[in-house]
Amino acid sequence: MTESHSHQYDTGISHIGIPKIVADDTPSNKIDDSNPLTLVMTSEELSNLGTDVLSMEFEKAGPRAKLYFDPSKTTCGIVTCGGLCPGINDVIRSIVLTAHHHYSVPTIIGIRNGLRGFIPDYGYDVMKLSPKSVSGIHQFGGTILGTSRDRQDVGQIVDSLEQMNLNVLFIIGGFGAMRAAKAIVDEIDKRGKKISVIGVPKTIDNDINFIARTFGFETAVEKATEAIRSAHVEALSVNNGVGLVKLMGREAGFIAAEATLATSEVNFLLVPEQRFELEGEHGLLMALERRLLEKKHALIVIAEGAGQEHVDTGNSDIFGNPELGDIGGTLIRRFKSHFKKRNLELYMKYIDPSYIVRSIPANAGDRVYCSFLGQHAVHAAMAGKTGMVVAQVKSSMVHLPLELITDKRRTLNTRSDYFNAVMETTDQGHYFKKA
């Protein structure tokens, strides 16, 4: 494989060969790989992207003047992995429409039920995809291809890629799926095959390294704010009413923080990046008591991965990640016990909209973003690029190597201006500090 430009953080993109086929359409909007895009980061952006490099060069996304694959002889495959997220069907649709209309690719197939679909023992048939078959799928949540979270044998996956004569594989998935994509690229490279693998990062938690916004996040925040408003109304309607909303966010509290900022009604925000005490004068129980004595109502938003130090399951999933304990249920029990001992009224309303948030169709903003992601993924693949993802950095659509985004997960910087602004809307420090 050949490498293009690199930097302190290697942003070079691999190719499976030299593109020699002249694209049919006019080259006026074609991207020149010899002229990388230089983006200057602010200190806030650096902290959010998880880097300390002030200026970085990126390969700009878009159509190229020369292609590696002959479109008339190209077969593309699409697979969706991991949990659901608003916009998956939009990305599938965009890939199909771009491959068909822009490049006249004759064969596009969907792999069913995630990486399982490559394993013969499961017996899944592939799905033939065309503009007609995907015409209305963006109206619905979920994925028409199905999904799974299993680990599968990389050798068998690449065997299937060869048997299906796939030239390009598009993998739509989160952190685990992008790591699987990297392993697939390595196996393809080891075998000396010419198969392009392009990732489209998908995680509702918005925790992909170097990517400030993953698709579906905007929709998730919008839906989450509805739950927060409902909990706020419930809390206001009774004396000492408490609304507790648990949102998605296993290791990163981006949805909870953004929804808190959007509503400006939350009194306590709890995220995985910031530990909190329950007991004692500076613990959450006393902070909530002070809030209720002063205002007679309270609204709490918690990300699912927050407060795990107070919930010990001792179990792990198939990837070795610790299983999350039920922090919502734990808080309810502790709140009720505390206020009963203090002989104080407490009326709890608990809302967990997680599966509603992740299974709804994308909103208009995410649909536009998904369309761009699908288009640029196809442009990159047809030019022979591989081992990369398409993403937005600052306001530009760029290519990022899989190695860069799978290095670590992105988390909230609790010392950033953004997080300080979120904390200001809650004023929770007032109740934690007050003795």
Asked if residues 384 and 399 have their Cβ atoms less than 8 Å apart, the reply is no
Tell me the average pLDDT of the chain. Answer: 90
Between CA 149 and CA 83 the distance in angstroms is: 7
Position 271 in a domain:
yes
Position 287 in a domain:
yes
| 106 pLDDT above the threshold of 70 | yes
Between CA 339 and CA 289 the distance in angstroms is: 8
Phi-psi region of 49 (alpha: psi -120 to 50; beta: other; left: phi over 0): alpha
Position 109 in a domain:
yes
Which pLDDT score is estimated for 319?
57
| 393 pLDDT above the threshold of 70 | yes
Q: Are residues 315 and 379 in the same domain?
A: no
Q: Are residues 251 and 336 in the same domain?
A: yes
pLDDT 10s digits, 288-326 = 999 999 999 999 999 999 999 998 766 766 656 668 889
Between CA 177 and CA 179 the distance in angstroms is: 5
CATH classification of the domain holding 287: 3.40.50.460
Position 410 in a domain:
no
| 56 pLDDT above the threshold of 80 | no
Q: Are residues 104 and 197 in the same domain?
A: yes
pLDDT tier at 374, thresholds 50, 70, 90: very high
Count of structural domains, the chain: 2
Phi-psi region of 79 (alpha: psi -120 to 50; beta: other; left: phi over 0): beta
Which pLDDT score is estimated for 1?
43
Position 172 in a domain:
yes
Which pLDDT score is estimated for 45?
59
Mean pLDDT lowest among 49-53, 66-70, 212-216, 428-432:
49-53
Section 151-177 average pLDDT: 95
Question: What is the C-alpha R_g of the chain?
Answer: 24
pLDDT tier at 8, thresholds 50, 70, 90: low
Q: Are residues 143 and 277 in the same domain?
A: no
| 134 pLDDT above the threshold of 60 | yes
State the residue range of the domain holding 256: 217-359+415-433
Q: What is the pTM of this model?
A: 0.91
SS3 283: coil
CATH classification of the domain holding 194: 3.40.50.450
pLDDT tier at 40, thresholds 50, 70, 90: low
Q: Are residues 200 and 222 in the same domain?
A: no
Between CA 398 and CA 376 the distance in angstroms is: 9
Q: Are residues 86 and 41 in the same domain?
A: yes
| 232 pLDDT above the threshold of 60 | yes
Position 399 in a domain:
yes
Which pLDDT score is estimated for 4?
40
| 122 pLDDT above the threshold of 50 | yes
**Inter-CA distances, 119 with 31, 66, 131, 136, 150, Å:** 37, 34, 27, 29, 11
| 388 pLDDT above the threshold of 80 | yes
pLDDT tier at 353, thresholds 50, 70, 90: very high
Section 267-294 average pLDDT: 95
Q: Are residues 136 and 270 in the same domain?
A: no
SS3 195: coil
SS3 107: strand
Q: Are residues 26 and 168 in the same domain?
A: yes
Asked if residues 118 and 95 have their Cβ atoms less than 8 Å apart, the reply is no
pLDDT tier at 34, thresholds 50, 70, 90: confident
Q: Are residues 295 and 377 in the same domain?
A: no
What single-letter DSSP state applies at residue 192? T
Q: Are residues 349 and 374 in the same domain?
A: no
Question: Which positions are annotated as active-site residues?
Answer: 205
Position 371 in a domain:
yes
| 125 pLDDT above the threshold of 90 | yes
Which pLDDT score is estimated for 149?
86
Which pLDDT score is estimated for 180?
95
Q: Are residues 133 and 255 in the same domain?
A: no
Find residue 397's DSSP bridge partners: 392
Asked if residues 195 and 154 have their Cβ atoms less than 8 Å apart, the reply is no
Q: Are residues 18 and 109 in the same domain?
A: yes
| 160 pLDDT above the threshold of 60 | yes
- Find the Cα–Cα–Cα–Cα dihedral 387, 2, 370, 131, rounded to 10°: -90
